[in-house]
Amino acid sequence: MPKLCTSALQAANVVTPTAPKLLTRRLCFYTGPAPPSFFDADSQVLCLPLTESNLYQVLMATTALPFISPDCTYIAGLGHGLYCDAALTDYNLNCVIRDAAWPTLLLSMSCDGGPILANIWDTYVPWRKLPASTWEHVSVLSPTSHYAARLPSCQLPNTWDFFATQYIKQPHLRMKAWDAAYEEPGVVTFIVMAL
């Protein structure tokens, strides 16, 4: 089932960039008394409380990579479904926050300000660009090619590493490359938190 779903997403995304939004639902799990106020109605984000009963299920879902990790098929308070990493529909920046009170910092994996993709499937649609309105309240922080050249594989670790044949056969090589990127002098460590 997951293979069929991801294949359908990939094929539909080639036809239109809105396809992943039609076939999936964005979820935002939050802590605190109220959901985040920066999503507008156009974002179509369902906000749900992060609780003790769903914490581990949500963590499993946010790290679930198709074909690589176990499927997450249930989240308490939400029910049954196929839950996976949002990189399928929101790899970098696919949910525009229009309110200037909520400026966005995008940590990009594209060296030297290279192209930024809306979702992971846009890798197969290189002619597609994000609309200019996407960048109204966004600052982009990206590495330089000089930094990437110092890494063992001459590139930053990324999601595709999980699908690389060499790393599938020898996962310790992926971990070694990722550790090397983390330990490279002068690197700033980023921590991404779910609201």
Going by C-beta distance under 8 Å and a sequence separation of 6 or more, which residues neighbour residue 154? Answer: 148
Q: Which amino acid is at 102?
A: W
Q: Which of the residue ranges 19-28, 53-62, 73-82, 178-187 would you say has the lowest mean pLDDT?
A: 178-187
> Using CA atoms, how far apart are residues 73 and 44, in angstroms rounded to an integer?
21
Could you read off the pLDDT of 60-80 as tens digits, one per residue? 888 777 667 788 899 999 999
For the beta carbon of residue 57, count every other beta carbon within 10 angstroms: 19
Helix (H) or strand (E) holding 139: strand 138-141
From residue 1, alpha-carbon distances to 129, 161, 186 in Å are 30, 23, 43
Whether 27 and 45 have beta carbons less than 8 Å apart is answered as yes
Which amino acid, 113?
Answer: G
Domain boundaries, the chain: 2-90, 104-183
pLDDT bin (cut points 50, 70, 90) of residue 193 is very low
Other Cβ atoms less than 10 A from the Cβ of 153: the count is 18
User: Per-residue confidence at 187, pLDDT binned at 50, 70, 90?
Assistant: very low
Q: pLDDT tens across 104-137, in order?
A: 777 777 777 677 777 767 777 777 777 777 777 7
**pTM for the predicted model, two decimal places:** 0.64
* In 19-156, alpha helices (H): 19-23, 55-62, 87-90, 145-149
Distance of alpha carbon 155 from alpha carbon 49, whole angstroms: 37
Res. 188: pLDDT tops 50: no
| Lowest mean per-residue pLDDT among 38-42, 80-84, 152-156, 159-163 | 38-42
Structure tokens belonging to residue 162: 């999980």
pLDDT of res. 80: 94
Residue 66 tokens, joined:
């198709």
